[in-house]
Structure 1
Amino acid sequence: MRYSIKYVCTQFSVFVFTLCVFISSLTAQDKIDEETGFIIAKGFKIVNMACTLCHSSQIVIQSRSDREGWLETIRRMQAEEGMVNLDPEIEKEILDYLSTYYGWRSDDFE
């Protein structure tokens, strides 16, 4: 599949803008993992391990959903992409992390 330079530059610009908006929304106490860009908090390690097996961390960082939406995403990846079934405690930790740090924000609806 071939993409034009204009298309690639546009997509990259959108990504950089999204990343800048996201980083600027963090509070001073939020620490970011330099390698992945994930917020370092409880659940970070398991999310990093589970999610980056198949795709980059940027897919998660750019996404927003509530807990139910993240669960639907996990179920879809299990059904369509071959993701393993998760231990319920691990799944809960992943959902806690994702819904807390990559959940919907009030400014997403403005």
Structure 2
Amino acid sequence: MSTGSDWSVGDWCRHTRHTTRCRIIDRQSIWNETVFRVWLPTKDAIIRARDSDLAPLASLKQPIGRIGLSAVRAYRRRRLEQEHRERMATLDAAETSLPDLNAIMMLRVGPGFASESSAAAGA
């Protein structure tokens, strides 16, 4: 990894003003000042940068928690949606397989059960 004015074409570095990583695609020396053309992959742009605008990639401190947290959230959301679909499918299957309870009561007790039970409750 290069540092300072030792940057060469193809090196990855950090652009300090854009606070993002960049790749050097061209190097020019003009009036004793080194100017680079760098590609910013996060913005899909090619810009000019001075030597003072570039820093080693190790100085780019992006908290892993920010990346990890969004990945965990996405995984948990997919998992919860999958569990919800599975539970709803189980409930749907149970509803379609349950026979009509009134038909079962009529077979077991007989058709006059409802009228007998209401008469017994009134007495």
TM-score under structure 2 normalisation? 0.21
More helix by share: 1
More strand by share: 2
TM-score under structure 1 normalisation? 0.22
